Amino acid sequence: MIKVQQQDFDIQHEYQALAKDSQAGAIVTFVGLVRDMNLGKQVQGLELEHYPGMTEQSLRTIVQQAKTRWQLLQCRVIHRVGKLALNEQIVYVGVSSAHRGDAFAACEFIMDYLKTQAPFWKKEHTDEGANWLDARESDDQAAERWQQE
């Protein structure tokens, strides 16, 4: 299940959708939030732009790659777009598997790939004005380590 949407999501609802599978022995979830500080600036909120069509295709490819690498039951990915205030939820990744090792690894893999491959862009509103965020080398390094293993 992949969704790109403006509205918020309910973690409990997403968790239950993963947990109802009786084969699931492990569920790992990740939620990304809008935080108040970035690179020393006070953040007031974010604006998220994406490339409709390519975004969904790119997320489907990432989930497919995860399912090829690990034994997974379900993957649920939700990414919000539009204006987001401090503390709001941005992204959700939930993975279920028979065992925790696969679920932990796949959840992290999906997030690392999402951050470097899915066409989303963040514009940050701070007390010093609005600016588009630059990609971080640390995110590229996080994604690259999956290629070395």
| Site track 68-107 with another protein (rule: CB under 8 A), x = hit | -----------x----------xx----------------
In the bound state with another protein, the residue whose beta carbon lies nearer, of 58 and 96, is: 58
Asked if 132 interacts with another protein (CB under 8 A), we say yes
140 — phi, psi (to 5°)?
-65, -40
In the bound state with another protein, the residue whose beta carbon lies nearer, of 70 and 120, is: 120
* 8 Å CB contact between 74 and 103: no
Single out the segment in contact with another protein by CB under 8 A; choices: 13-21, 35-43, 49-57, 99-107: 49-57
Q: Provide the binding-site residues for another protein, judged by CB under 8 A.
A: 32, 48-51, 53-54, 57-58, 79, 90-91, 111, 114-123, 132-135, 139
